[in-house]
Amino acid sequence: MFHLINLNSHSDTSGRLIVLEEPNSLPFLVRRNYFISNTNTIEPRGFHAHKSQKQIIIALNGSVDITLDDGKNKETIVLNDPTKAIYIEGIVWREMKNFNNCILSVLCDSLYCEDDYIRDYNEFIKITNKK
Ligand code: T46
């Protein structure tokens, strides 16, 4: 399951402040935050799903196309506004392409664990079709 969350933002002449707080705009308590930067437009990233990790993805700067696939429906979201966060929960394949000056912040409910990754698309389809 995935959907967009609108974040509260407060702007004035001095700038903009954007808020995430649990449980209002943040559906879980954060145990890890990482940033993806220094990307280039031609090299895509991702190509995996998670077995149980919950995530919020925000483009702090620039834009990126994120394709999300739950095994039945596939959607590409252009993430180019830091007041819009993608929430991903459950087994969802993700591909990130067309990075343009992008800095991504990813908030997670769990620590890094390679065992939580499904990196083979055929295995992902087998698992999601069983559900
Ligand atoms: C995801 C998308 C949106 C760590 O050592 N610790 C970490 O917390 C993470 C996330 C990664 N790594 C290491 C593992 C790899 O050697 O960093 C390297 C790059 O990771 P990966 O190739 O998985 O990066 P992306 O951009 O394809 O995917 C990342 C996240 O891994 C993934 O959970 O959903 O961003």
pLDDT tens per residue across span 55-72: 999 999 999 999 999 999
Domain boundary assignment for the chain: 2-8+19-126
Cα of 65 to ligand 1 centre, how many Å?
17
At the second CATH level, the architecture of 2-8+19-126 is Sandwich (2.60)
Q: Residues near 2 by Cβ (< 8 Å), separated by ≥ 6?
A: 68, 70, 75, 86, 87, 88, 89, 92
Looking at ligand 1, which residue's alpha carbon is closest to its atom 6?
A: 112
Q: Is the overall model pTM greater than 0.75, yes or no?
A: yes
48 a catalytic residue: yes
pLDDT the model gives residue 41: 83
DSSP annotation of 54 reads -
Q: Is the CB of 36 under 6 A from ligand 1?
A: yes
Q: Which residue's C-alpha comes closest to atom 34 of ligand 1?
A: 46
User: Ligand 1: does its nearest atom lie under 6 Å from the Cβ of 86?
Assistant: no
Quote the pLDDT of residue 64. 97
Residue 131 pLDDT greater than 70, yes or no: no
Contact 20, 85 (CB under 8 A): yes
